[in-house]
Amino acid sequence: MAGSAALPIYFESSWSILSIIGLWNVFVALILYSTLGWSRILLVPLVVSVATAISNGMCFYAFYMEYATVNTAVASAFADVFWVVQEAGLSFYSYIILARWLKGTARTIFLTMFWSLLAVIIALRGAILVSRIQFTLDKVAEPQTTARRQAIINHLHSGYFSAIALVELNSAFFLLRNFSRARRFANTESVLGHLMRSTEVRLALLALIGVTRAVTYSFQTAIQSANSVASQIDRFVYTTECLFPIVMFVDILASRLVASDGGTTSVSSRSRSRGRAPSKSVARQLGQTQTAGQSAINIHPAVDDESISEVTAKQIELGNISISRTVEFEVYDGEGRRTDYGTKS
Across 103-112, 113-122, 149-158, 308-317, least confident range:
308-317
Judge whether 118 and 157 are in contact, CB under 8 Å: no
Q: 269: Cβ–Cβ under 8 A, 6 or more apart, which residues?
A: 296
Tell me the mean pLDDT in the region 30-46. Answer: 91
Tell me the mean pLDDT in the region 324-341. Answer: 54
User: Regarding predicted confidence, which is higher, 97 or 191?
Assistant: 97
What backbone torsions phi and psi does residue 327 show, to the nearest 5 degrees?
-130, 150
In single-letter form, the type of residue at position 44 comes to V
Q: Which span out of 71-75, 116-120, 138-142, 279-283 was modeled with the highest average pLDDT?
A: 116-120
H/E/C letters for each residue in the chain? CHHHHHCCCHHHCHHHHHHHHHHHHHHHHHHHHHHHCCCHHHHHHHHHHHHHHHHHHHHHHHHCCCCCHHHHHHHHHHHHHHHHHHHHHCCHHHHHHHHHHCCHHHHHHHHHHHHHHHHHHHHHHHHHHHHHHHHHHCCCCCHHHHHHHHHHHHHHHHHHHHHHHHHHHHHHHHHHHHHHHHHHHCCCCHHHHHHHHHHHHHHHHHHHHHHHHHHHHHHCCCCCCCCCHHHHHHHHHHHHHHCHHHHHHHHHHHHHHHHHCCCCEEHHHHHHHCCCCCCHHHHHHCCCCCCCCCCEEEEEEECCCCCHHHHHHHHCCCCCCCCCCEEEEEEECCCCCEEEEEEEC
**pLDDT confidence of residue 332:** 56
Tell me the mean pLDDT in the region 166-176. Answer: 87
Rg (CA), the chain: 26
Tell me the mean pLDDT in the region 287-315. Answer: 43
Q: Is 89 exposed, middle or buried (0-12, 13-18, 19+ CB in 10 A)?
A: buried
**pLDDT confidence of residue 100:** 85
* pLDDT (tens digit per residue) in 193-222: 666 667 777 777 888 888 888 888 888 777
| CA distance readout (Å), 43 to 47, 198, 210, 280 | 6, 18, 22, 43
* pLDDT (tens digit per residue) in 224-257: 777 788 888 999 999 999 999 999 998 888 878 7
Give the separation between CA 122 and CA 89, rounded to whole angstroms.
11
Complete domains list, the chain, with CATH: 2-260 (1.20.1070), 265-344 (no CATH)
- pLDDT-derived band at 161 (thresholds 50, 70, 90) equals very high
pLDDT at residue 290 tops 60: no
pLDDT at residue 28 tops 60: yes
**pLDDT confidence of residue 298:** 47
**pLDDT confidence of residue 36:** 86
User: Regarding predicted confidence, which is higher, 32 or 280?
Assistant: 32
Across 24-28, 210-214, 339-343, least confident range:
339-343
Give the separation between CA 239 and CA 230, rounded to whole angstroms.
14
Give the separation between CA 23 and CA 326, rounded to whole angstroms.
40
